[in-house]
A and B are shown apart, each in its own frame.
Chain A
């Protein structure tokens, strides 16, 4: 099952995919209303708890950034202010040289986990969605890197479009991951190349912290992250999870 959270006509609703009579892709709200994709405002598909992100979790990606593969998973955390829904707008500050997307498999925790073993790790997963976790490399500093100014910006962690039930994805370890900028394929990978796969991440994280329902693990991005500019349309796609769209906008929209 795929469920989105959308705002429409004054309220927030659960919504499921629905093809409209005229053939357009749309949604059906729980109350029966059927609407086109662009007639609703897409929110992150769940009330998110702790956001846990992985860096350098694809070997080729580590190579691209000239890092050796980390001995222990490189984990960092993000705050709720960074979240954004499908079809949202992300600001690129004027004057920066390198802002890039990161298409990632996001794992949603459904049941508390503490000291989970690899063998039962998947019983703690509620489902998956796509994440596009932007970074602005101009702001990198070598303190708690990647520092929050790079990775914790308002509206720079796009999540959605749907929360896809765990049962619908038989093998999260074999999903194609792709990003298109203005329709052109710029990033391509597969979750089979994750250094720490989903069960390994749940085992590792829950070895030192309790994971709670609603916590989200962003599993890292493959190689192929390129700069994006104001006006670019960025689409992140993962097999079985849909397509997550986002548009880069400039400072003027924010009165800067």
Chain B
């Protein structure tokens, strides 16, 4: 299980396969901040994040294009956090925004699946780290094929119906800035993935539905959702 999904994601540029480590940036899309509204200033948060807030999608969550995702028993709906994932090409520590993109191997689609939860005060691992909750792929588009990662349109379809259209032009920290600020406190390694931010409100799905995420130049990622109690 662990490295299977990493090998299944086609990647024709170094390092040729994913490391299996996937990070995501919380609240890095303007709409996700807007969605929280005044609550940001109140307890338990007491203010917007200062540095990037990241979460980890562990290896048990990784899934490939076409793999069915289990809706856990007792859960009616799941959120689909469609995002552009940056694939790191070279060891990345203390990057400058100016040169950050030179460390990127390419980009892929990440569909960050969660059990809907609030608040975001604690990491909520049982909502984000279920088996199969991070389908990604189907392939890594080399950096050279993506002229501007801050101008990509993301479309989410549920059972063929368009449910969300969003763009990376609304990132709070654009891709290069995000890489600079993250690598100021932690090193990213070749094959690591950083999902750059999810727009709000995220589309919701139920067991029996199919989700397709499309991003310009990155292809399409499609997964069905199945009932875990069945």
Give the nearest-CB partner of B51 in chain A. A149
Residues on A with beta carbons closer than 8 Å to the beta carbon of B121: 142-145
**Which residues of chain A come closer than 8 Å to B201, judged between CB atoms?**
none
Q: Which of B8-16, B159-167, B181-189 faces chain A?
A: B181-189
Q: CA–CA, A34 to B147, complex, Å?
A: 55
A111-153 interface with B by 8 A CB criterion: 114, 139, 141-145, 147-149, 152-153
Q: Do residues B55 and A209 form an inter-chain contact, with CB atoms below 8 A? A: no
CB pair A49 B125 closer than 8 Å: no
Q: Are A143 and B49 in contact (CB under 8 A)?
A: yes
A50 within 8 A of B: yes
> Which A residues touch B186, using CB under 8 A?
79, 81-82, 148-149, 152-154
List of A residues within 8 angstroms of B1 by Cβ: 210, 212
CB pair A208 B72 closer than 8 Å: yes
Q: Which of A49, A81, A141 contacts B2 (CB 8 A)?
A: A49
> Which of A114, A144, A209 touches B53 (beta carbons < 8 Å)?
A144
Contacts of B23 in A (CB 8 A): 79, 148
Contact B51 A141 (CB under 8 A): yes
What is the CB-to-nearest-CB distance from B197 to chain A, in angstroms, rounded to a whole number? 13
Q: Is B21 an interface residue (CB 8 A)?
A: yes
A77–B21 touching, CB < 8 Å: no
Q: Is the CB of B130 within 8 A of A154?
A: no
Which of B1, B54, B189 has its CB near the most chain A CB atoms (within 10 A)? Answer: B54
B87 to chain A, nearest CB (A): 15
The yes or no answer to B37 lying at the interface (CB within 8 A) is no
Chain B interface mostly helix, strand, loop or mixed?
loop
List of A residues within 8 angstroms of B124 by Cβ: 144
Q: Number of contacts between A and B (CB, 8 Å)? A: 108
B59: which A residues are within 8 A, CB to CB? 49-50, 212
Alpha-carbon distance between A76 and B51 when the two chains are bound, in angstroms = 18
A211 nearest CB neighbor, chain B only = B60
The reply to whether B125 and A75 form a contact with Cβ atoms under 8 Å apart is yes
Indicate with 1 or 0, residue by residue over A68-87, a CB within 8 angstroms of chain B CB atoms: 00001011111111100000
Report the Cα distance A81→B91, complex, angstroms.
11
**Bound: A33/B117 CA distance, A:** 54
Whether B56 pairs with A78 at a CB distance below 8 angstroms is yes
> Is B44 close to A, CB under 8 A?
yes
Pair B49/A77 contact, Cβ less than 8 Å: no
Q: Which residue of B lies closest to A208 (CB)?
A: B126
Contact present for A144 and B58 (CB under 8 Å)? no
For B2, the chain A residues whose CB sits under 8 A away are: 49, 212
Q: Assess whether B198 is interfacial by the CB under 8 Å rule.
A: no
Residue numbers of A with Cβ under 8 A of B are 49-50, 52, 72, 74-82, 114, 139, 141-145, 147-149, 152-154, 208-212
Q: List 10 A-B contacts (CB under 8 A).
A: A52-B58, A52-B125, A79-B23, A141-B53, A144-B124, A145-B121, A147-B51, A147-B53, A148-B23, A149-B185
Q: Which 5 A-B pairs have the closest CB atoms?
A: A77-B56, A50-B58, A143-B53, A75-B125, A148-B54
Q: Using CB atoms and an 8 Å cutoff, list the residues of chain B in contact with chain A.
A: 1-2, 21, 23, 26-27, 44-47, 49-56, 58-61, 72, 93, 120-126, 129-131, 185-189, 192
Beyond contacts A144-B54, A149-B51, A152-B54: 7 other A-B pairs, Cβ-Cβ < 8 A, are: A52-B125, A79-B56, A81-B188, A141-B49, A142-B46, A149-B185, A208-B126
